[in-house]
Amino acid sequence: MNSSLLDAPNAAAVTSRESSETLRVPRSTSLFSRWLKRLGAGIRQDIRSRAPWYVSDWADAWNYRVVPATALIFFANVLPGIAFSLDLIETTEQYGVAEVLVASFMAAFIFSVFGAQPLTIAGVTGPITVFNKTIFDLIKTAQKPPVYLHFVGWVYLWSAIFHWVTAVLNCKAMSFTTMIGCNFLKYVTLFSCDTFGFYVSWVYLQYGVQVITRQFTASNELGPLVSIVLAISMLVTCFFFQTLANSVYFHRHVRRFLADYGMPISLVAASAMAYWGRFKSAHPTTLPVGGAFQAAGGRDWLVKFWQLEAKWVAIAFPFGFVLWVLFFFDHNVSSLMAQGSQFPLKKPPGFHYDFFLLGICTFLAGLIGVPAPNGLIPQAPIHTTSLLITGHPFKKDGSEEQDAASTEGKDGTVTGAPDPTSTDHPVGVVEQRVSNLAQGALCLVLLTGPFLHVLHLIPRGVLAGLFWYMGADALRTNGITKNLLYLLQDKHLTAPISPLRVQVRKSRILLFVGIQLVAFGATFAVTQTIAAIAFPVVIMLLIPVRTLVIPRLPFTDKELAILDGPTASPFTMESVGGSL
């Protein structure tokens, strides 16, 4: 027999052993390679899950609900943003109305056209106004302060880099990076959202007061008094329309019309009141505007922040980190609230991809010298609420309920044979991209000369009333407020099947709400001091307080389940690895 054949198995074994030794790599290198391959996995997953819905996101906009949603969110987004900017206009003199409008348009365009969660509304918020103003107050104390917009440009660039790193370090299989990426949102519950929402509501109320009090320094003695009357008129009229919309009066189409357009009607009416009779002779203070498509002070739109001195570039780094902390919590919480469990959503979310886009928005904001936009509270959930389709559950074969959303009309109502034993409830949401894009386009329209003149006619007192309305309305629906009101209720008039009454001890409700109020108080107090730049860190501490501290307190699992819970449905939270 041929010896080469006898030696074949041994030769094969040697060859296989040599090959395995050649291909063998250290275990640490193998783990690192797998880790590198997982970078950006969350972004890729978001794109894959959302891409099949992209065409329907535009086609589904052929629905009447889009029209009132656009009008409502346009006024609710732009006017508070401009009013917030008044603080920056008067203190920094680096921003104007044009910068706020450009920032709102930029955010609306990017998130409506490219975003995975187009229902989330982004714009200029109160927290970013506090942040930018605090930066101005801090750097002006230096002997040779840098150019403000150059310094802010670097702050935004550093923050954008943190955004991109956070979005890339995300996937369910990356254990450590999950803790520092968007998957960390799984630990955000109603405890954190309600506390932060409570804080934002009081910021709105505070700014409404500031808009009024700053007018008392003017030489016009009657102007501030007229502003107070206009603010109260705006507040009362808005709540009047809201009350009628939720009442049993008038036909349901009339009630829905009041719910859709009550706030814009109130704003127009209150503004017109300032030009009637003796109000006009008082010359109430109005919004300051500049030229069409013109930046504040006539500067160029391009900010050459790369000309900043090296030491200030380094100083901008920790400011960029703090801004990342703020946007990580603020934007993602607004996205969670816009996709809350009370909304019957059907299209998948995409937190990692959208946070990457927010980094792009932040970088562009620094490049052109506008306030950085991010997710809005309470505007984001207001937008989704305005797109709700309500109706009755339907009976099929006399027993099973049929999905009412399949029989919805173009006016947002549902037709068919309703179950007479049931009441109206949400049966669907018009999930689309047009309303967000349209309200952003209207911001761009406002930058033209004629519309800037119209904007200039709006009295500041009306904006104060708008702040009060939005803040009070957000407080009314906040979980902290609901628990406080429950504690004040007569127990004999409380529903005997209420979970709070049956399964939660009153002392535990007091303890839970007390912790939330302490957290709110700490956050609000910090923003009133020179240390206001650190308030995002205080907000971020809400998450470890909920996950590490509260479970060690004398709450039962059932009590915590009733007092707290996930912000969004399991369907939405699946994008970030599920709920806590």
Asked if residues 172 and 181 have their Cβ atoms less than 8 Å apart, the reply is no
CA-based end-to-end distance of the chain: 70
Asked if residues 178 and 192 have their Cβ atoms less than 8 Å apart, the reply is no
Kindly list the averaged pLDDT for each block of 10 residues, start to end, along the chain of length 580.
Answer: 45 45 53 68 88 92 90 84 74 81 93 91 84 86 86 94 87 43 72 88 88 75 84 93 89 86 89 85 81 82 90 92 88 84 85 92 93 85 86 50 42 42 70 93 90 88 90 89 87 72 83 92 84 79 86 87 79 67
What pLDDT sits at residue 35? 59
Asked if residues 359 and 389 have their Cβ atoms less than 8 Å apart, the reply is no
Q: What residue has token string 């670097």? A: 154
Asked if residues 538 and 526 have their Cβ atoms less than 8 Å apart, the reply is yes
What pLDDT sits at residue 314? 93
What pLDDT sits at residue 436? 93
AA identity, residue 70: T
Query: What pTM was computed for the model?
Result: 0.80
What is the per-residue DSSP string for 21-63? HHH---HHHHHHHHHHHHTTHHHHHHHHHHGGGHHHHHHTT-S
**Residues 6 or more apart from 233 whose CB is under 8 A from it?**
269, 270, 273, 465
Q: What residue has token string 């792009």? A: 360
What pLDDT sits at residue 56? 93
Question: Where are the chain's structural domains?
Answer: 38-218+285-392+425-576
What pLDDT sits at residue 182? 61
What pLDDT sits at residue 409? 43
